[in-house]
Each structure stands twice: as structure tokens, then as C-alpha cells.
Amino acid sequence: MCGIFGLISNKNLNIGKIALDGIKRLEYRGYDSCGVAFQNGKNFDVKKVSGKIEALQEKYSLNSLSGSLAIAHTRWATHGAPTKRNSHPHTDCREEIALVHNGIIENFIELKEELISKGHTFKSETDTEILPHLIEDYLGQGFSFKEAVVRTLKRCKGAYGIAVCYAKEPDSMIVARKESPIVIGVDKGATSYCASDIPALLPHTRSCYILNDDELAILKAGEVEFFSVNNANKKIKKKPEYIKWSVDDARKNGYDHFMLKEIFDEPDALRNTLKIPDNEFKNFAQELVKANQIYITAAGTSYYASLAGKYMITRFLGKFIQNIECSEFQNRLSGALERNSVIIAVSQSGETADTIEAVRWAKEAQPDIKILSITNVVGSSLTRYSDHYIVTRAGPEIGVASTKTYVTQVLSLGLIALEVAKLKKSKPSEDIQKYYDALTSTPDIIEEFLDKNVNSIRAFVKNLEKNLNYFFLGRGISIATAKEGGLKLKEVACRFIEGYSAAHAKHGPISLVREGFPIIFIAPPDETYKRLVGNVMEFKSRGGYIISVVVESDKKVTDLSDVTIRIPQPSTRYYNLFSPITFIPALQILSYFAALEHGLDPDKPLNLAKTVTVH
């Protein structure tokens, strides 16, 4: 996810300030590097930095620059580290085309090879840079600017929101969209604007055109025309929409909080992560199959993702995997780290001090150890210490409590598990395909769940308001879900939670149960289900108030429960293995509404920071 902003005017405007303000309002979409291109009468002045928008202003004093055309970008890196060279805008060989892009061009490697063989020179490692070069190529074949852009887009697989300018046609800017948002605002007869999202347009206009997939718009000063990428000769009529939101509401896409928005982002975060090439997961699987000892380490939510991942991978690998909290890694393994070991490190930020220290220490203690990491941030410190890494595609997460990044971490670990199954042939290929189908349907299951269930969860959370203590219980892989669900409620609603094994809870914790004590059971119909029914009875018979998370066809646990939250998924083993992904949104939503009931801000839990860089 990145933010793009552009404007074209027939006035001499304070263009530097307007362009930087535009991307500043989109900074929630990404903030690791940024840049801007201005028309300078001949071609473009392109200014970029690795770092935040303030650094761009500080370095080039752009606030005082005047002009009438600019495109600007704030980046969340996916291909290529967040360096100045990889930041947008990107240009062609002659620097006559300047382009900003949000999305991923999946077939960029083939297109780049083709363009290099034709003599194009690339300056960055990004997928985006193929776009200005392809446009240059089509212009060189005699096509118009519009036709060159259309032909380029038709060659691209993947997602894009782009804004592109051509030095020889300084009175127009072309924008287009496929699966990455673009909105357009027009101050009639004077200035036209485009952006990845509405907040950037609100200081200029409240009347916005929303571009649909495969649509293209030609912006001129104070006017706009729309076309279909698939039939670019025919104009499309579009009506502007009037936007009533405040800037802050718009950044949250109309949701009251980032936490809620980011839970609703989960289906897309998963779909985008599913587009990561298979070979990245295969590299992990190959190392795991060769390894003597395997450790998986992380903190907080990432640790609970790793608990779920350990179950999935062990199932197909047939080797023991040790989960170790990163802060205890060195204490537990001093003098015991064997050669030919593998460490999987999981960290949303890739900057958690204890996680970094664990892998650094391990590499020093046993130099032939392999570090495999899963993070959400390209170029983060963790990637620099890793032999292989996977960058999940959740996009920036603003809410302090992790939500969408958790499901993408578990998904990535699930995909690694299935690559292990393929390599080891630990299951017949038809079975592996069924697991794969179940895993790829997790975004649809979550989408359907969120569509149907949010209001009913809100209603029963009201009755829980008085409770200060909760148990979250599960067995097998659902212990991970119980612990992560409990952590969410702890963080955002400030309640005391014991997230525990349902079986182990009868060896002590059960003595706390009194009439009405709330116990949340995570109960997918997997191999642990029968015994979990027994555990539910134990707690119910002591007066516990039973809330259970079950699949829609569930009967036994449902009959024992005071409240059920039902997940719309088939009750087969293929789906059950991935229940940590499909069951967690229920608990995230519950925690979100509990925070509201207690008058707390779910985006800013007390005493917590998004990234913990102290030991």
C-alpha cells in the first residue's frame, strides 16, 4: 500500500507545498520513502528521499516551489528496499515520462528482461520502473501518450493505481486503476487532482470521482475525461460523489477506528499475501527439510502466530519444532545451539529489539545457522540478518494492536507448511491440494463472517461489560487462537485474561470459576473437539458463562454454550488446520467492542508502543 497524489492546473500554484501536503495526508498508507516530480518547462525535476516527508522538505525546501503540475508518492516498499533509488516517481531512459504507482506488477521480471534486451536501462529494483519504460517504448513506436499508457497497462498482470505525466504533453496527466484505489477531484476550469484516497483531496474539494477497475482518466487543468482501458476510444460518463467525512474519518475509510478498519482489511491483506510467489515459501521449506534442529521465535502477537505455525509445519515435516520467546532465546539456548539448525523469526515490524538480538546472537554463536524471517516491512533490520525472508502484504498497520498482520503471518506459515508437505510428499497430492484450497478460501470466509456477525458480537459484548477477568481456552492449534484472542482483549479493553490450554486449565485455574465467570472456548471441529466438549462441561458445571467460537454446523458445544459465535466454514480437517486465521477475527471484533464499552481508545492501548525497541 502506497499513497499517490497529483495535480495539474492553469494557475501558477504553491505546488511544492500542495504536493507534500497531499502525500502527508496519505502517510497512513506507507511512510518508508517518498518523492515528487515537478514539470520544469522542459522535462521533470524529480526529488526523492529514503525516509519521511519531513526529510524530503528539509532536503529540498520544496514548500516554496511554484508551478502547475506535480505528482508525488509516499511508499510502503514491496519490491526493492526503501532506498532513494527505489522510491517513486520513476522515469524512463530519456526522463520524459514520470510515474507514481501503488500496487504490484506481478509479471515485471519478464517485462523487465524484454525491455533490457531492447536497450532500456533501469535504475531501481522496483516492479514499477517497467511502466515508464514500456510507455517510452510504445511512444517510440509512434503511439499517442494515451494509447502508449493503455498498451502498457494491458501488458501488466497484477494491481495498479498510477498517475503518469509526459514532458511533451505538459497539459495532461493520465491516471488509471486496477485493484488499487484512485480518486479524482476537479476545481472546474482551474485545477484537477488525483490521489490514492479521499483525505488528500478534502482540502481542495468534497466532490470526488471514484475510478473503477480498468478505468483510465485524462486530467487537464480543471477538467477530466474517463475511458475504459479495454475500449479506450469510448468515453465513460461518471458522476462525482459528495464526501461528507472529516479528514480523520476519511483516513479510516469511514470506520471509527483504525483497529476496526484493519480487521475489515484482513480479506484483502490475505489475498495480497497469497500473491507472493511460491518459490519464497519453497526456500523456507527446503531449509526446514534439511535442518537438524528448528526453532521459531517472536514476541507478542507474532509469537502466537508462530505457535499456530509450529503446529501446521510439524504436521507435514514430522520433526519437532521448538517455540521460544525471543527474549528468552539466548538464556534457553546458550551452549545448546547445534550446527545445521534453522531459526524462523516472526516480527511484524522487523525491528523488535528482542527478536533482532535473538537472531544476531544465534548467528554469532553458530555461524552456519540459517535465519528465515517473516516480517511486514521491506528493508527492516530483521531482513538484513536473514538468509531468506518473506514480506507479508498486509500493508501498514496503524492500530497499535496487531490484527491484519497476524492473519498474514499465520497464512505465510501455512503456505510454508504446504510447501514442506509437497517436498516431503508427506500427504497424497490430492490431499495437499485440498489443504491449499482451504487456505486460499480463508479471505472469503473472513469476509462472509464480518458481513454477517459484527452486530451480534457488539450486542452480547454489552452484557459482559461488568466482568474484569476472563479465560480464553482451546486445545491443540486453538491454544494459539485462545492466547492471541486473550492478548487482544487485554491490550485494548484492559481486562485480565488467562489464555490457556483447556485441558491444563483444570489443574488449577478452574478454581477461580464462580457463577457467571466468562470463559471463551475456541472450538473448531478438529481432532481435539471431543475432549474439548468435556472441558466445556467441567467449566459449565461450576457456573461458568460459556461463550464459544464454533463452525456454523456445530451442535455439541453450541448446546452447552450461553453464546456462540459461528464461523462460516466447512467442518473438515483441511479447514480446521487453518482455524487460527478464520477464528481470530471474531475475537478481535469482540475486543474492539469491549474497548468501546469500557470507554477506551482501541487504537491506542495504554502503556504500549507499536514497535518495542528496548530489551
Which residues are part of the catalytic machinery?
Answer: 2, 610
Distance CA 417, CA 411 (A): 10
**Residue 312 or residue 359: which is nearer to ligand F6R going by CB?**
359
**Residue 349 or residue 478: which is nearer to ligand F6R going by CB?**
349
Distance CA 137, CA 148 (A): 8
Neighbours of 213 (CB within 10 A): 13
Rounded-to-10 torsion of CA 285, 287, 292, 294: -60
- If one asks whether residue 576 binds ligand F6R (CB under 6 A), the answer comes out as no
- If one asks whether residue 349 binds ligand F6R (CB under 6 A), the answer comes out as yes
- Do β-strands 231-236 and 223-228 pair in parallel, antiparallel, or remain unpaired? antiparallel
- Do β-strands 97-102 and 90-91 pair in parallel, antiparallel, or remain unpaired? antiparallel
Sequence-distant (6+) residues with CB within 8 A of 261 are 252, 253, 255, 399
Residue (of 435, 448, 474) closest to 577 by Cα position: 435
Residue (of 125, 604, 607, 609) closest to 351 by Cα position: 609
User: Which of these segments, 28-36, 149-157, 298-306, 548-556, binds ligand F6R (CB under 6 A)?
Assistant: 298-306
User: Smallest distance, Å, CB 490 to ligand F6R?
Assistant: 9
Burial class (CB in 10 A: 0-12, 13-18, 19+), 238: middle
DSSP state string for 262-284: HHHTHHHHHHHHHTS-HHHHHHH
- What are phi and psi for residue 566, nearest 5 degrees? -110, 130
Centroid of chain to Cα 38:
31
Residues in 483-522 that interact with ligand F6R by CB under 6 A = 487, 491
Amino acid at 501: S
User: Smallest distance, Å, CB 402 to ligand F6R?
Assistant: 4
User: Smallest distance, Å, CB 414 to ligand F6R?
Assistant: 18
- If one asks whether residue 74 binds ligand F6R (CB under 6 A), the answer comes out as no
**Residue 56 or residue 305: which is nearer to ligand F6R going by CB?**
305
Q: How many chain residues interact with ligand F6R (CB under 6 A)?
A: 15
Q: Which of 43, 128, 152, 348 binds ligand F6R (CB under 6 A)?
A: 348
Reduced to 3 states, what is the DSSP secondary structure of residue 152? helix
Distance CA 217, CA 211 (A): 8
Residue (of 586, 524, 519) closest to 551 by Cα position: 524
User: Which of these segments, 217-225, 343-351, 497-505, 577-585, binds ligand F6R (CB under 6 A)?
Assistant: 343-351
- If one asks whether residue 383 binds ligand F6R (CB under 6 A), the answer comes out as no
Per-residue interface string for the shown chain with ligand F6R, residues 110-129, x marking contact by CB under 6 A: --------------------
**Residue 57 or residue 347: which is nearer to ligand F6R going by CB?**
347
- If one asks whether residue 611 binds ligand F6R (CB under 6 A), the answer comes out as yes
Centroid of chain to Cα 521:
28
Amino acid at 37: A
User: Smallest distance, Å, CB 425 to ligand F6R?
Assistant: 33
Distance CA 282, CA 97 (A): 38
User: Smallest distance, Å, CB 512 to ligand F6R?
Assistant: 25
- If one asks whether residue 327 binds ligand F6R (CB under 6 A), the answer comes out as no
User: Smallest distance, Å, CB 31 to ligand F6R?
Assistant: 16
Quick one: DSSP state of residue 571?
-
- If one asks whether residue 224 binds ligand F6R (CB under 6 A), the answer comes out as no
- What are phi and psi for residue 169, nearest 5 degrees? -130, 70
- If one asks whether residue 192 binds ligand F6R (CB under 6 A), the answer comes out as no
Q: In what order do the strands lie in the sheet with 97-102?
A: 90-91, 97-102, 160-166, 173-178, 215-220, 223-228, 231-236
User: Smallest distance, Å, CB 307 to ligand F6R?
Assistant: 13
Neighbours of 209 (CB within 10 A): 21
**Residue 286 or residue 611: which is nearer to ligand F6R going by CB?**
611
- If one asks whether residue 300 binds ligand F6R (CB under 6 A), the answer comes out as yes
- If one asks whether residue 299 binds ligand F6R (CB under 6 A), the answer comes out as yes
Q: Which of 39, 68, 180, 352 binds ligand F6R (CB under 6 A)?
A: 352
**Residue 415 or residue 487: which is nearer to ligand F6R going by CB?**
487
- If one asks whether residue 341 binds ligand F6R (CB under 6 A), the answer comes out as no
**Residue 226 or residue 303: which is nearer to ligand F6R going by CB?**
303
User: Which of these segments, 15-23, 221-229, 293-301, 447-455, binds ligand F6R (CB under 6 A)?
Assistant: 293-301
Q: Which of 402, 478, 548, 582 binds ligand F6R (CB under 6 A)?
A: 402
- In the complex, which residue's CB is closest to ligand F6R? 300
Helices (H), 185-257: 247-251
**Residue 365 or residue 612: which is nearer to ligand F6R going by CB?**
612
Q: Which residues bind ligand F6R (CB under 6 A)?
A: 299-302, 347-349, 352, 355, 401-402, 487, 491, 611-612
